[in-house]
Amino acid sequence: MIGHELQPDPWFTEGPLMPRVGGGLHEITRGGMLGIHTDFDEHPTGLTRCANLLIYLNEDWQDEWGGALELHGDTVVSIPPRAGTAVLFETNGTSWHGHPEPLDCPLNRSRRSLALYYYRQPTGKHERRTTVYR
């Protein structure tokens, strides 16, 4: 990411209805989960995805409800989805992340976040990557 000019998703506010490329408001309800995965890297316009910014919107979130974002690298970093918490991380073929345990929140609550994806101009040839789950 260093040395590249980041660009927001050119289709975030305006663009075709299909294909959608995943950014925006995300909501997961009781029992839901997001398996550990790496993200796709190519926007339909040809830009290369390189960073995610997640902003959590969950007032009064209780840790025992689960839903913490796990970043898997040499160690696992766990970040609870509390309101106002922002997480920026690089997306590449080794940036494994997700929340692999089902949510145990009350039925009237959900895990909500705003996901913003950032891109750069492609640099040289690369093998196109799709979302891959462990």
Q: Which residues contact 103 (CB under 8 A, 6 or more apart)?
A: 28, 29, 30, 31, 32, 33, 65, 66, 67, 110, 111
Number of folded domains in the chain?
1
Res. 126 pLDDT band, cuts 50 70 90: low
Residues 114, 134: Cα–Cα separation, whole Å: 24
Q: Which two tokens stand for residue 30?
A: 């009781």
Identify whether 1 is part of a domain.
no
Q: What is the CATH number of the domain that holds 103?
A: 2.60.120.620
Q: What does pLDDT average to over the chain?
A: 88
Range of the domain at 53: 7-12+26-117+125-133
Q: What is the pLDDT confidence band of residue 129, given thresholds at 50, 70 and 90?
A: low
In whole angstroms, give the CA distance from residue 67 to residue 127.
32
- Using the predicted structure, report yes or no on whether residue 13 has a pLDDT greater than 90: no
Residue 2 lies in a domain: no
Q: What is the mean pLDDT of residues 76-85?
A: 97
